Amino acid sequence: MKAAAGKVAQLLVVMFLVSLGTFSLTSLMPGDPAVAILGDNQSPEAYAELRDKLGLNEPLVERYFTWLGHVFQGDLGTSMVPPNEDVTSLIGSAFAVSIELAVLALVVALVVSIPLAMISARRPDGLLDRAASATTFGIMSVPSFVSGLVLIALLVNQLHLFPRVGWVGVTDGLGQNLYHAALPVITIALLEIPTFTRVLRGDLVRTLQEDFVLSARAKGMPAWRIMIFDAFRPSSYSLITVLGLSLAQLIGSTVIVETLFSLPGMGRLVVSSASQGNITVIQGAVLVIAACYVLINAGVDLMYSVIDPRIRRVGA
Amino acid sequence: MSAPETAALAPTARPGRRRRIDLLLWLCGAWLAVLILAAITAPVLGLQEAQDAAKTLLEPVYQPPSLGSAHPLGTNALGLDMLSRIIYGARVSMAVSISAVLIGTFVGGTLGVVAGYLRGTVDRIIGTLTNTLLAVPALILLIALATVLRPSALNMALALSLVAIPGMIRVTRANTLAFAQREFVTVAQALGAGRARIVFRELMPNVLLSVVPLCLVYVSALIVAEASLSFLGIGLRPPQPTWGNMIGEGLNGKMEDYPHLVYVPAAVLFLTVFSFNLLGERMRKRWDKREVSL
Amino acid sequence: MAGTGKTHLREAGSTLLRVEDLQVEFPAKGGRRVHAVSGVSFDVAPGETVGFVGESGCGKSTVARAVMHLPAPNSGVVNLDDTELGTLSAKRLRETRVAMQLIFQDPMASLNPRRKVKDLVQEGVEIWHRGGDRHALEERTRELLDDVGLDSATVWNRYPHELSGGQCQRVSIARALMMRPSLLICDEILASLDVSVQSQMLNLLKRTRAEHGLAMMFISHDLGVVKNISDRILVMYLGKVAEVLEVDALDRETVHHPYTQLLLASVPRVTGERIKPSVDGAAQDLPSPLNPPSGCRFRTRCPLATDRCAQEEPQLEEKRPGQFIACHHIS
Ligand SMILES: Nc1ncnc2c1ncn2[C@@H]1O[C@H](COP(=O)(O)OP(=O)(O)O)[C@@H](O)[C@H]1O
Ligand code: SF4
Ligand SMILES: [Mg+2]
- Tens-place pLDDT, residues A272-282: 888 888 888 88
DSSP strand pairing (C183-187 vs C100-103): parallel
Domain-located, residue C159:
yes
CB-ligand 2 contact for C316 (6 Å cutoff): no
Higher pLDDT, A209 or C255: C255
pLDDT band at A30 (very low <50, low <70, confident <90, very high): low
What single-letter DSSP state applies at residue C31? G
Please state, as a whole number, how many other Cβ atoms lie within 10 Å of the Cβ of residue B103. 17
Chains A and B touch (3+ CB pairs under 8 A): yes
C75-80/C17-27 β-pairing = antiparallel
pLDDT-derived band at C36 (thresholds 50, 70, 90) equals: very high
pLDDT at A27 over 70: yes
Interface test with C, best of B113, B119, B184 (most C CBs within 10 A): B184
Select the more confidently predicted residue: B174 or A48: B174
Phi-psi region of C183 (alpha: psi -120 to 50; beta: other; left: phi over 0): beta
Q: What is the dihedral of CA C255, C260, C264, C265, to 10 degrees?
A: 90
In this structure, the residue with its CA closest to atom 24 of ligand 1 is: C57
pLDDT tens-place string over residues A129-164: 999 988 998 888 888 888 888 888 788 777 877 777
User: Do C171 and C225 fall within a single domain?
Assistant: no
Using a CB-CB cut-off of 8 Å, the residues of chain B touching A124 are 6, 8-9, 11
- Residues C113, C75 share a domain: no
Please judge whether A14 and B266 are an interchain contact, meaning their C-beta atoms are less than 8 angstroms apart: no
Q: For residue C115, what are the domain limits? A: 108-180
Rounded to the nearest angstrom, the distance between the alpha carbon of C221 and the centre of ligand 3 is 8
Residue C50 vs residue B250, higher pLDDT: C50
ipTM greater than 0.85: yes
Q: Tell me, yes or no, whether C187 and C323 share the same domain.
A: yes
- Give the pLDDT confidence of C45-67 residue by residue, as tens digits: 999 999 999 998 999 999 999 99
Note whether residue C275 is domain-resident: no
Contact A28 B259 (CB under 8 A): no
Neighbouring C-beta atoms of residue A243, cutoff 10 Å:
20
- Before B4, cis peptide (omega within 30)? no
Contact at 8 Å (CB) between B132 and B227? no
pLDDT, mean of residues B83-110: 91
The model's pLDDT over C198-250, given as tens digits with 9 standing for 90+, comes to 888 899 999 999 998 999 999 999 898 999 999 999 999 999 999 999 999 99
A100-114, B210-224, C157-171, C281-295: segment of lowest average pLDDT? C281-295
Residue C278 has pLDDT above 50, yes or no: no
Percent of chain B scored above 90 by pLDDT?
32
Per CB-CB distance under 8 Å, the chain A contacts of B13 are none
Q: Is C59 contained in some domain?
A: yes
Confidence of residue A312 (pLDDT cuts 50, 70, 90): very low
Please say which residue of C180, C204, C238 terminates a domain.
C180
**Does residue B185 contact residue C114 with C-beta atoms inside 8 Å?**
no
C36 lines ligand 1 (CB under 6 A): yes
Cα of C21 from ligand 3 centre, angstroms:
20
Q: Tell me the chain B residues in contact with residue A36 when contact means C-beta distances shorter than 8 Å.
A: 148
Q: Which atom of ligand 2 is nearest to the CA of C328?
A: 3
Query: Would you say the pTM of this structure is higher than 0.90?
Result: no
Over 70: is that where the pLDDT of C274 sits? no
CATH 1.10.3720.10-classified regions of chain A: 87-314
Q: Provide the mean pLDDT of chain C.
A: 88
Whether residue C331 has pLDDT greater than 60: yes
CATH number of domain containing C74:
3.40.50.300
Given a cut of 70, whether residue A3 has pLDDT beyond it is no
Nearest alpha-carbon partner for A280 in A17, A42, A29, A12: A29
User: How many angstroms separate the Cα of A159 from the Cα of each of A150, A151, A156, A185, B265?
Assistant: 12, 10, 6, 18, 24
Peptide bond into B137 cis (omega under 30): no
C255 close to ligand 2 (CB < 6 Angstrom): no
Neighbours of chain A (3+ CB pairs under 8 A): B
Contact across the interface for B232 and A248, Cβ inside 8 Å: no
Q: What is the mean pLDDT of residues A226-254?
A: 78
Indicate whether C171 and C309 sit together in one domain: no
Q: Is C222 on the interface with B (CB under 8 A)?
A: no
Contacts 24+ apart (CB under 8 A), B209-213: B209/C114, B210/B175, B210/B287, B211/B105, B211/B109, B211/B168, B211/B171, B211/B172, B211/B175, B212/B283, B213/B280, B213/B281, B213/B283, B213/B284, B213/B287
Domain A87-314 grouped into CATH 1.10.3720.10? yes
Residues C319, C230 share a domain: yes
For ligand 2, atom 7, name the residue with the nearest CA: C299
Angle, to 10 degrees, between the axis of helix A144-151 and the axis of helix A237-260?
60
Chain B / chain C CB contacts < 8 angstroms: 58
Residue A124, Ramachandran bin (φ over 0: left; ψ between -120 and 50: alpha; else beta) = beta
> According to the model, what pLDDT value does residue B11 have?
43
- B153 touching C, CB under 8 A? no
**Residue C208 amino acid letter:** T
Q: What is the pLDDT of residue A33?
A: 65
Q: In angstroms, what is the span from residue C317 Cα to ligand 2's centroid?
A: 13
Average pLDDT of the segment spanning A242-247: 76
**pLDDT of amino acid A172:** 73
Q: Are C243 and C261 in contact (CB under 8 A)?
A: no
CA neighbours within 13 Å on the CB side: how many for C173? 30
> In sequence order, what are the beta bridge partners of C103?
C186
Q: Which atom of ligand 2 is nearest to the CA of C308?
A: 2
pLDDT value at residue B85: 85
- Residue C312 corresponds to which amino acid? E
The proportion of chain A whose per-residue pLDDT surpasses 70, expressed as a percent, equals 90
Q: How sure is the predictor about C174, in pLDDT bands with cuts at 50, 70 and 90?
A: very high
Ligand 1 mean position to B216 CA, how many Å? 39
Q: Could you tell me which of C36, C83, C45 has the C-alpha nearest to residue C63?
A: C36
Query: Does one domain contain both C79 and C223?
Result: yes
CB pairs under 8 A between A and B: 159
Could you give the angle at which helices B120-135 and A2-23 cross, rounded to 10 degrees?
A: 60
Closest ligand 1 atom to residue C26 Cα is: 4
- Whether the per-residue pLDDT at A108 is higher than 70: the answer is yes
Q: A306 falls in which pLDDT band (50, 70, 90)?
A: low
Q: What is the mean pLDDT of chain B?
A: 82
Q: Does B182 touch chain C (CB under 8 A)?
A: yes
- Given a cut of 80, whether residue C29 has pLDDT beyond it is yes
Whether C70 sits inside 8 A of B182 (CB atoms) is no
Which one of A229, A286, A292, A296 would you mutate to disrupt binding with B, by most B Cβ within 10 Å of its Cβ?
A286
Asked whether the beta carbons of residue A223 and residue B277 sit closer than 8 angstroms, the reply is: no
Mutate to test the pocket of ligand 2, among C309, C330, C331 (most ligand atoms within 8 A of CB): C309
CB contact under 8 A, C65 and B186: yes
Which residue in chain C is spatially nearest to B179 when comparing CA positions?
A: C109
Q: What is the pLDDT of residue B1?
A: 34
Has residue C137 got a pLDDT over 60?
yes
Is C149 in contact with C203 (CB distance < 8 Å)?
no
**Over the stretch B145-161, which tens digit does the pLDDT of each residue have?**
888 888 888 999 999 99
pLDDT at position C313 is: 92
Domain count for chain C, please give it: 2
Q: Output the pLDDT for position C94.
A: 92
* Position C205 in a domain: no
Distance C239 CA to ligand 1 centre (A): 10
In this structure, of B45-49, B197-201, C39-43, the range with the lowest mean pLDDT score is: B45-49
CA-atom Rg of chain B in angstroms: 23
Same domain? For C39 and C187 the reply is: yes
pLDDT in tens, B106-148: 999 999 999 999 999 999 999 999 989 988 888 889 988 888 8
Partners of A3 in the β-ladder = none
C-beta atoms of A253 and B270 within 8 A: no
Is C302 a pocket residue for ligand 2 (Cβ < 6 Å)?
yes
Chain C residues lying within 8 Å of B191, measured CB to CB: 98, 101, 123-124, 127, 175, 179
Select the more confidently predicted residue: C153 or B10.
Answer: C153
Q: Give the nearest partner residue to C111 out of B184, B193, B205, using CB atoms.
A: B184
Mean pLDDT of chain A: 81
In terms of domains, do C138 and C90 share one?
no
